[in-house]
Amino acid sequence: MTDAPDRPRHTARYFSGNADSTADGRLFAPVFGRNFPAVLAALAPWLSGRSGAVLEIGCGTGQHAASFALAFPNLSWWPSDPDAGHRASARAWAAELGAPARAPLALDAATDWATDTAVTTLGPLSAVVSMNVIHIAPYAVTSGIINGAAQCLQADGLLIFYGPFIETGQPTTAGNASFDAGLRAENPAWGLRDVTDIRREAAALGLGFAALIAMPANNRLLIFRKE
């Protein structure tokens, strides 16, 4: 995999220069292996009784998408990412792990993605999931995910964010504060997002707060339910 010179910096996390990759295009996020078991255990009560389509926004390597597809066979888990290399990796991970082959959507969450026919053909969504995305992207991506989810989710559908957050006006730990400062130094439009802002935007669009779950490594699951 080669890095196109005009690729936006927000997709730099898994480029060949800073990530292992294989000939089939699979990319590896080392943190996946450390955090996935806890994320799976925490989401099982929310997802295992569901059916229908789940749209994952910013799938990155696609390790989560393939693993969730296998863990929740009643759900049709659709990965998406604006980066072609990440979509190729998601396809390759599904093949490697024997997960259903679902062509990853080329979706930029800062756009009006809910009206994209690639999304509307999935039907009303059972869940929209976005992990480790909104702090490494402009705030328009946070708003875009909330807006799109409000349009696409079925009644009772879930919007699920995972990652580090600001709560009560502060990053939750000194480590997260330093991570936040580093992100903002790299790109002033990036940074940890405040749960209060997300809750306010979601509530205004009919997405009721359902849970804020503490996870290992100072991460959180932030879950909303369409009313």
Ligand X SMILES: C[S@@+](CC[C@H](N)C(=O)[O-])C[C@H]1O[C@@H](n2cnc3c(N)ncnc32)[C@H](O)[C@@H]1O
- Which residues are at the interface with ligand X (CB under 6 A)? 10-11, 13, 29, 32, 57-61, 64, 81-83, 86, 108-110, 131-133, 136-137, 141
Report the nearest approach of ligand X to the CB of residue 80 (Å): 7
By beta-carbon proximity to ligand X, the closer residue of 168 and 190 is 190
Strand 170-171: give its sheet, edge to edge: 170-171, 165-167, 193-194
- Nearest residue to ligand X on Cβ basis: 60
By beta-carbon proximity to ligand X, the closer residue of 132 and 172 is 132
By beta-carbon proximity to ligand X, the closer residue of 35 and 172 is 35
By beta-carbon proximity to ligand X, the closer residue of 13 and 50 is 13
By beta-carbon proximity to ligand X, the closer residue of 18 and 121 is 18
Report the nearest approach of ligand X to the CB of residue 78 (Å): 13
Report the nearest approach of ligand X to the CB of residue 1 (Å): 14
**Are the C-beta atoms of 218 and 161 separated by less than 8 Å?**
no
Rounded Cα gap, residues 156 and 222, in angstroms: 16
Rounded Cα gap, residues 28 and 41, in angstroms: 21
By beta-carbon proximity to ligand X, the closer residue of 11 and 147 is 11
Report the nearest approach of ligand X to the CB of residue 58 (Å): 3
Cβ-Cβ contacts under 8 Å for 182 (sequence gap 6 or more): none
Report the nearest approach of ligand X to the CB of residue 194 (Å): 19
Report the nearest approach of ligand X to the CB of residue 8 (Å): 7
Task: Tell me how long the chain is.
Answer: 227
